[in-house]
């Protein structure tokens, strides 16, 4: 492994502002998503920017420019950190935070600053039609997918489908020692029985009933992010699962969890990984990112960047996995 001196755009370290490795790891991963980088570098975000809540999006655009067009080996994300901290005070503190929670807040904040509203007509109950307002942004276009939960009452067999949008899928880890990403996906998408306190209120029966529930992907996002649930509660204490999870670098096939009616391209390639090493309170976050120009993998550890072989991308500290639709890679 060799340490990098920034010879290529996009190979820029980020200064740690004091326990902000969680932020640096997420920013490096987002700055390794080609269509997101292109959107901000082209200046398209400036045309839709909201004045009242666009400060974080503006700072994010400037940071991407510094990382991709600048001539520095390392830059400070302080302006972005400050802007996001105004909206989410938790992240303004110089204390260790959860990278997954930070990622969701960043995606939400960028969406709020860049969203466009458009009216559309939709049909409800097959009879009346009404107008609804749809809010879209580069974030929803790239990262938003949709699940459909098929729920069947075990008493009367009535079924309903409940749609739910997502930007990050949190996957359970079914083993304490070793498993694969496919094992985690099978566990997430398997049919469950809702009983006891989780019973549904069946509209046909008019009472609470046991039911089965099964999720299906009805809209596959262009970028799908998996959160591996390494932190779990055991009584009143939280503990970390150090399970070695095997995940593919390319050809991740999601077709068996997707609706064939809606999801045509369901194969993905890995483009970034957030790693968490150590324990809950004193752990450290780093990122593995695939450079869109050189196609090489790099380890981003705050200000330090190291080129790594493909074999090293498989890590037992993986916490978040960023996959990009392979059809999207062909156009970039």
Q: Which one from 21, 31, 184, 202 is the annotated catalytic residue?
A: 21
205 is catalytic: no
Taking CA atoms, 67 is separated from 7, 8, 30, 127, in Å, by 12, 10, 12, 52
Letter string b/e over residues 232-270, b meaning 16 or more CB atoms within 10 A of that residue's CB: eeeeeeeeeeebebebbbeebebeebbbeeebeebebbb
Closest CA to 138 of 50, 266, 45: 45
Using CA atoms of 317, 322, 327, 331 in order, give the dihedral in degrees to the nearest 10.
-110
Taking CA atoms, 329 is separated from 39, 200, 295, 301, in Å, by 15, 42, 11, 26
How far apart are alpha carbons 57 and 112 in whole angstroms?
9
101 φ/ψ angles, rounded to the nearest 5 degrees: -65, -40
Q: Which one from 81, 153, 284, 289 is the annotated catalytic residue?
A: 284
45 is catalytic: no
The residues assigned a catalytic role are 21, 284
């Amino acid at each position: 492994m060799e340490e990098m001196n920034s010879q290529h755009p996009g190979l820029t370290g980020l200064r740690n502002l004091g326990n902000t490795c969680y932020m640096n790891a997420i920013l490096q991963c987002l700055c390794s998503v080609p269509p997101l980088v292109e959107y901000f570098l082209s200046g398209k975000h400036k045309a839709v920017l909201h004045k009242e809540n666009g400060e974080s999006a503006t700072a994010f655009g400037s940071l991407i420019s510094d990382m991709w067009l600048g001539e520095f080996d390392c830059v400070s994300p302080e302006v972005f950190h400050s802007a996001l901290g105004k909206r989410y005070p938790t992240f303004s503190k110089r204390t260790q935070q959860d990278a997954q929670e930070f990622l969701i807040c960043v995606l939400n904040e960028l969406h709020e600053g860049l969203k466009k509203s458009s009216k559309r007509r939709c049909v409800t109950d097959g009879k009346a039609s009404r107008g609804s307002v749809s809010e879209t942004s580069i974030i929803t276009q790239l990262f938003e997918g949709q699940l459909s939960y098929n729920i069947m009452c075990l008493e009367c067999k009535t079924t309903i489908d409940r749609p739910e949008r997502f930007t990050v899928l949190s996957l359970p880890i079914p083993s304490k020692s070793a498993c694969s990403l496919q094992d985690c996906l099978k566990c997430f998408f398997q049919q469950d029985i809702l009983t006891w306190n989780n019973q549904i209120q069946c509209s046909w029966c008019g009472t609470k009933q046991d039911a089965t529930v099964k999720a299906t992907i009805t809209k596959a996002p262009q970028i799908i992010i998996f959160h591996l649930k390494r932190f779990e509660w055991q009584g009143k204490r939280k503990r970390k699962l150090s399970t070695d999870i095997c995940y593919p670098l390319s050809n991740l096939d999601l077709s068996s969890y997707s609706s064939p009616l809606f999801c045509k391209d369901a194969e993905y390639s890995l483009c970034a990984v957030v790693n968490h090493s150590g324990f809950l309170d004193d752990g450290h976050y780093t990122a593995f990112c695939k450079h869109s120009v050189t196609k090489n993998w790099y380890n981003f550890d705050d200000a330090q960047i190291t080129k790594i072989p493909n074999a090293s991308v498989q890590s037992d500290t993986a916490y978040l996995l960023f996959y990009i639709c392979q059809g999207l890679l062909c156009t970039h």
